[in-house]
Structure 1
Amino acid sequence: MAESRARGRLWRMSSHLNPSDGVSMEVCRAKGGATGLRVAILGAAGGIGQPLSLLLKMNPLVSTLNLYDVVNTPGVTADVSHIDASAVVRGFLGKDQLDSALEGVDLVIIPAGIPRKPGMSRDDLFKINAGIVRTLCEGIARACPRAIVNVISNPVNSTVPIAAEVFKKAGTYDPRRLFGVTTLDVVRANTFVAEVVGLDPKLISVPVVGGHAGVTILPLLSQPLQVTPAIRFSDEERHYLTNRIQNGGTEVVEAKAGTGSATLSMAYAAAKFADACLRALKGEDGIVECSFVASQVTDLPYFSSRVKLGRNGAEEILPLGPLTEFERKGLEAMKKELQGSIDKGIQFATSA
């Protein structure tokens, strides 16, 4: 009897590393949080995917965490599964297991792709990451068409339109359920503003609108929330903060000197946005986050702005609110570049 129980325990342990062999939730003692949600991370073995997997494993709203990548997933799965949080961690390796990784999940997060390196433009990233995102979204359309999808893979200004076109072709597109994760821009804005004004970043919430690359990133420094009295910036501070927020990614790429891009801060921001989506799926009210979504806030078809989240994804796209002359000029300056990135993604997806 003891030997039989030992074999059973070994089988359950090995199932985390070999999901195709499987362990049914009926016989597995570790069922995870009974009322939790199922999350899949596509690109879980990468520089963003690994710390993101750690953070999502620790989220009490997650009952099952599916980790997918084309390489190295067994090791990441074994490592993360040892953390004493309730989510069950399951690993999936290679294209043949993509649909299994996605089946029945509530939230899909896509950090897959190559990172930006010094001297590399987002156009360079596009050439590789566009195809990766298209393939993954085809899997989502097949296996979990009603899931909330969070796209991290850069360039977000192009990969979100690619995802949308894939879903349209499959007949599964719901604009409320597709989000480009721009939370890192908000996180940076809060941090950099806090440094300038000498406050705790948790007391500051700066809306960041537009897109997720360079000049398309527009922090609305006239509208930082939660701070009383309201913060007033000098022209010098406004220019410094806007430039630093827009170039935060380049700052990290150059500081890492060829060894990577913003992985840890991006994982933190992605986990923060994922948590907001999970809380909304559970029915929590009043959740508002900035995200790059299908939008009518401007004349651009996709735009990042404040979005009210609910059980079905984006419940309401909130207006920009009053802008300063500096912000209005920034908004006009970004439009041509952002529209070009959107068109590039649509053209890629529709010409395949």
Structure 2
Amino acid sequence: MSKPRGPDAAPLPRTHAPPAPITSGWRRRARALAPWVLALLLALALGAKLVHHNQVASAMLHPARTPVLAADLALAQQALHGGVQPVSFATADGLLLQGWYKPSRTGAVVVFVHGGQGNRLWFLAQAQALAERGIGVLLYDSRASGNSEGDTQTWGDLEQEDLIAALNWVSARPDADPRRLGAEGFSIGASTVCMVAASDPRIKAVVLHNMWSSLREELRHKSGTAWSTWLLLLDFWWAGIDPDRVQPAQVIHQIAPRPLRLVAAEGDHDTPVAVEQALFERAGHPKALWRIPGADHLDYREHGGDALRQGIAQFFAKSL
């Protein structure tokens, strides 16, 4: 038991809990604002991503046109040795397409379908090799391209209507034998040709350059992420495009027994050569795959040179 303390005893020291650290006002405010700042930064990053995506989607769906000039007609007259006729024809959905037609001396005619952001000039050198053999050629601007009407590039969906309109037009020509029509396409144009040829027996011989297996796969390849692919598909649907109407891998076998040639650029990063190889394996006979060493998506013509042009011309001359 402790003794009572006297009046003169020294006071006992007081025991208290340690004082709470004093937080300055700006630190308290910073901690309170941190979640809001983070949310704002995330919103800005997402907004920037969406703005970039919209720019990409707009360029894909509404590409800058490369118009066909009066001087280009003079160039075509020279390349095709005269007789080139400016022509126009309407699609089933009411668009007027513009093109050039070099009449046939043999009854055979080949219709050419260019790729994205292109125009009828893309296949002029190839058309020259055919015209020298007396084969008629129809080069036209797809919708939203060159001098044709339309403001949306549909990546092989509604371009099928363009090709059908072209086949209808050329089939009615007095110089053309509707039983001897061929078609050649590049990239988006190749997808267009493949899809139409699979169901339209009027096309008797086919050449396809640098073609994707499906539009969905192409968008997935170009996007790189599932999120970007989903956004692009949404943009395409909103523009009235049905990606499931562009599936060359699902229909390429239906071209057989009509002869088919696939052309692949071995250095193509846009459409890898493995895609062409897989398409070739799905196709029926008779078929051949021509691989162009050192070529990328857009320069296969230069790398293939005259050997490619003459090889294709010989193929059509024999097949038609």
Instruction: Give the TM-score, by structure 2 length.
Output: 0.37
Instruction: Answer with 1 or 2: which has the greater Rg.
Output: 2
Query: RCO (CA 8 Å, sep 6+): is it higher in 1 or 2?
Result: 1
Q: TM-score normalized by structure 1? A: 0.34
